[in-house]
């Protein structure tokens, strides 16, 4: 149990375009989802926390107009990188926490974004 | 502010050579301490949750322990497939449910 999927697993886009990444909890309802960014050989950097039906809470320094997060249902959250630039190239990972979970997060496999 | 420090940064072991990874933490009211395993190019995989000092959890060759200031991940007779980055995270009773992650320990087990 506790499986989280992400789509796509990798994407290449041109500078100035927008990219949407989907995160789904497949076998549980996720009341809270998290979006992370990870640079090579570095730890996870939390970008935002989203609760179903509510606006996302962004970490300091993360541009909410650039990284749009929508948590429309208990099984789906999306991250849209708007007007992407090469510096947005990174590994993006989502995680989900269920209603009854006592804190542990279940992570998706990640999405590798390359902006050319 | 919650803080998590993991050591060593990297650890190289021979197959069968047991060792321990350390996670030191400071948190205002611990709700839980978590261990994850991350393979290159993949998302972290949940391993253990520890809630109170003295608690221990085991899974195959891994055993996690917790004190009031640190946690250890003991690896007994490791195999090459145990090679990965191990992440420790803490969650406070407050802080909106967010977890604070350490930078990880990259374990390499040579055959």
With CB atoms and an 8 Å threshold, state whether B36 touches A6. Answer: no
Which site among A90, A105, A108, A113 would you substitute to test the B interface, given the most B Cβ atoms closer than 10 Å to its Cβ? A105
Q: According to the model, what pLDDT value does residue A55 have?
A: 86
User: pLDDT value at position B97?
Assistant: 72
Residue A76 has pLDDT above 70, yes or no: yes
Report the C-alpha gap between A2 and A11 in whole angstroms.
25
Residue A103: name the closest of B2, B54, B97, B88 by CA: B97
* pLDDT value at B29 more than 90: no
Instruction: Judge whether residue A101 has pLDDT over 90.
Output: no
Residues of A (77-96) whose Cβ lies below 8 Å from B: 91, 93, 95
- The answer to whether B103 contacts chain A (CB < 8 Å) is yes
Alpha-carbon distances of A37 from A110, B17, B31, rounded to whole Å: 9, 34, 24
What pLDDT is attached to residue B66? 97
Q: What is the mean pLDDT of residues B24-28?
A: 93
CA nearest A37: which of A72, A2, A61, A13? A61
pLDDT at A31: 85
Q: How far is A9 from chain B (nearest CA, A)?
A: 10
DSSP letter assigned to residue B95: G
| Of the partner residues B31, B42, B49, the one whose CB lies closest to the CB of residue A110 | B42
* Mean pLDDT value across residues A35-63: 90
Please tell me if residue B40 touches chain A, with a CB cutoff of 8 Å.
Answer: no
User: What share of chain A has pLDDT > 90, as a percent?
Assistant: 72
Query: Is A49's CB within 8 Å of B96's CB?
Result: yes
- Average pLDDT of the residues in B24-47: 94
Of A12-21, A25-34, B74-83, the least confident: A25-34
- Looking at residue A100, what is its pLDDT? 58
């Amino acid at each position: 149990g506790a499986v989280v999927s992400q789509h796509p697993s990798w994407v290449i886009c041109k500078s100035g375009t927008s990219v949407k990444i989907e995160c789904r909890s497949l076998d549980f309802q996720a009341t809270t989802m998290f979006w992370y960014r990870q640079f090579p050989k570095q730890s996870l950097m939390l970008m935002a926390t989203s609760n179903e039906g509510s606006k996302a809470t962004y970490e300091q320094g993360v541009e909410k107009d650039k990284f749009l997060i929508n948590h429309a249902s208990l099984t789906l959250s999306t991250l849209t990188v708007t007007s992407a630039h090469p510096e947005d190239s990174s590994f993006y990972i989502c995680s989900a926490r269920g209603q009854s979970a006592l804190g542990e997060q279940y992570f998706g496999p990640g999405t590798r974004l390359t902006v050319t | 502010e919650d803080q998590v420090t993991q050591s060593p940064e990297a650890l190289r072991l021979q197959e069968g050579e047991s060792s321990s990874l350390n996670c030191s933490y400071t948190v205002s009211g611990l709700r839980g301490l978590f261990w994850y395993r991350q393979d290159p190019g993949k998302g972290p995989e949940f391993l253990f949750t520890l809630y109170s000092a003295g608690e221990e959890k085991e899974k195959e060759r891994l055993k996690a322990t917790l004190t009031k200031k640190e946690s250890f991940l003991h690896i007994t007779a490791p195999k090459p497939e145990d090679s990965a980055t191990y992440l420790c995270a803490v969650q406070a009773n407050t802080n909106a449910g967010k977890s604070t992650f350490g930078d990880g320990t990259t374990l390499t087990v040579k055959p």
